[in-house]
Amino acid sequence: MYGEAVERLIREFKRLPGIGQRTAERLTFHIVQGSEREGLALADAIRAVKEKARPCAECFTVSERSPCEICSDPRRDPRVLCVVERPTDVLAMEKSGGYKGRYHVLLGAVNLLEGVEPHDLTIDALAERVRQDDRIEEVILATNPTFDGDATALHLRAALEPLGVRMTRLARGLPAGGSLEFASKAILAEALEGRRDYQERRRPS
Amino acid sequence: MPILKTEAIVLRVIDYSETSLVAWSLTREHGRLHVIAKGARRPRSPFEGALEPLVRGELVFYRKKKASDALEIAKEFDPIDRHSGLRSDLARVHRGLYLAELALELSEREDPAPEAFDALARGLHDLASGPTSALDAALVAAELGLLAAAGLSPLLEGCARCTAGAANVSGVVFSAAAGGLLCDRHAQGDPAARPVSAGTLKSLAALQQGTAVALRDGVQRDLRALLDAFVRHHLGKSLRLSRYLGAQRPVRHRPRRSPRGAHA
C-alpha cells in the first residue's frame, strides 16, 4: 500500500522486541516525514553498532574494544568479579557508582522449561576465568532476584564451588527510602530472611 | 467481563513485553489457565513479584466471555506459598520444574483438575521442605498423582493386556505401551516390555497408594527409567527436565593456577 521501501522498514521495526504493527508504522512514518539527515543518521548508527560492537573476550559485555574499557582499566579491582545476566545489568551497576571491581556477563539466565540450558550461557568461560586468574578472591552472583535468576545462581555455585573462590549473592529486601507499610509480603519475607546483625561495632581504642 | 478468584500454581512464565508477563498455571476449577499479567514486571505491581514458576497463590482474573484460546487478564496474584525451599539447591529446582512440565503436558484448559492440583501442591510442598533423602520419593509420588489424575495410572495388579489376575502375573515385566504389568504370555510378544525388580515394583505400588517409602539408589534409578518410558510413551516425547533428574553431574575440578593470595 505504501510502497516496498516503506513496507520493508515497517517489517524490520516489527522484528524488534515489544514493537507491534502500529508502533512499527508510527516509527516508519516518523522517519519518512522527518529530514533526510535524521533518517540517515539512524541508519548510520545501526550500521556502526553492527560493525563495531563486539562481545568482550574476557567479560562478554558489549564493547567496541576487546578487552573492553572496564576489563582493561588498571584502576578496577581485579579481586572482585560481579556476575550479571546481561550487558544492560553492567550499565545499571555502573550507574550505582558503588562498585569498582570487574564483571562477567552470562548473556542470559538458565530457563530449562524454555530450553535455555547452563551450557548456553558463559558459565564455563567464567569458571575458566576464575581458574586462570588467581587474583580473583570474590565472585558476586548478581543474577536477577527471580526464579530464573536464582536457578542460574545455583548453577554458578555448582560450577565455582570446587574452585574454592568466595561467592556472595546480592542482598534482597526493602528498597532504600521505602516503608514497611507499603512493602509487599514477598519483599518483607525476604528482608526478614536476609536480616543482618546490628550490634555497634566497637573500635579498638 | 466477570472477575473470578481461584487458587493457582504457576507452571510457566514468559516475558511478554517490557512490563508484562504471560503465565500458565494449574487450578482446581479451571484446569490449566493462561493469563496475561500487565505490569507484572514493574517493581510495584499488584502481582508482588510472585508470578513465578512453582509459586502457589490466589489469582484474581477477568474471565473472557468466549475464545478459549485467548489469554485471560490477571488482576492480582497473592502468594500463599512461594516454596522458597525449592530454590535452595538444584535437585529441588529440577524436580519442581519437572512436575510443572508434566502438569503442563497433562492438563487441559477449562477442564477442572482438583486431583492434579492437589498432587502437584503436595509434591511441591514436600520437595520444598522435605529432607534431601526423600526428594525422589516425593517426586515419584507427585508424578504418579498427576498421571492418575489424567487417567494414566500404571496398572500394577494383574495383566494390563488380558484378564489374567495377579496370580498369573509373575510381577517382573512392565510395559509402558501396555500401561502396566504383563502376564507371561503377553510379555513375550511386547518389545517394550522390560524386567522390573521386585523392590522397584513394591516401591512403585506403595507410592501409588500414597505410602511413604525410602528409595534406595538402585530402586530409584529403576523407577526413574520405568516412569520416563511410561511418560514418553503416553506423551509421545520426553520431557525436557527428565535429563536433569539423575544425580547432579559432578563438576570436574581442575585446580587454579596457583594458591589463592599467592600473587604480589
Structural domain includes residue B219: yes
Report yes or no: B240 at the A interface, CB cutoff 8 Å.
Answer: yes
Is the same domain home to B36 and B93? no
Q: How far is A112 from chain B (nearest CA, A)?
A: 7
Give the Cα separation of B70 and B124 in Å (integer). 28
A110-115: long-range contacts at Cβ-Cβ below 8 A with a sequence spacing of 24 or more? A110/A148, A110/A151, A110/A152, A110/A155, A111/A148, A111/A151, A112/A151, A112/B94, A112/B97, A112/B240, A112/B241, A112/B244, A113/B12, A113/B53, A113/B97, A113/B100, A113/B101, A113/B240, A113/B241, A114/B14, A115/B240
In the predicted structure, residue B210 carries a pLDDT above the cut 90: no
Find the domain containing B235 and state its range.
87-153+196-247
In the predicted structure, residue B115 carries a pLDDT above the cut 90: yes
Report yes or no: B87 at the A interface, CB cutoff 8 Å.
Answer: yes
- Domains in chain A (CATH in brackets) are 4-52 (1.10.8.420), 62-197 (3.40.1360.10)
pLDDT digits (tens, 9 = 90+) for A10-62: 999 999 987 889 999 999 999 999 999 999 999 999 999 999 999 999 999 99
pLDDT digits (tens, 9 = 90+) for A19-33: 889 999 999 999 999
In the predicted structure, residue B247 carries a pLDDT above the cut 80: no
Contact B260 A134 (CB under 8 A): yes
Rounded average pLDDT over A80-100: 95
Is the same domain home to B7 and B43? yes
Is the same domain home to B137 and B16? no
Give the Cα separation of B76 and A80 in Å (integer). 40
Is the same domain home to B91 and B76? no
Is the same domain home to B69 and B96? no
B68 band by pLDDT with thresholds 50, 70 and 90: low
Percentage of the residues of chain B whose pLDDT score is greater than 70: 88
Higher pLDDT residue, B110 or B241? Answer: B241
B261 band by pLDDT with thresholds 50, 70 and 90: very low
What pLDDT is attached to residue B90?
95
pLDDT digits (tens, 9 = 90+) for B227-239: 999 999 999 999 9
Is the same domain home to B107 and B21? no
Rounded average pLDDT over A113-125: 95
Report yes or no: B259 at the A interface, CB cutoff 8 Å.
Answer: yes
**What is the C-alpha R_g of chain A?**
22
Instruction: List chain B residues with CB under 8 Å of A161.
Output: 251
Is the same domain home to B64 and B93? no
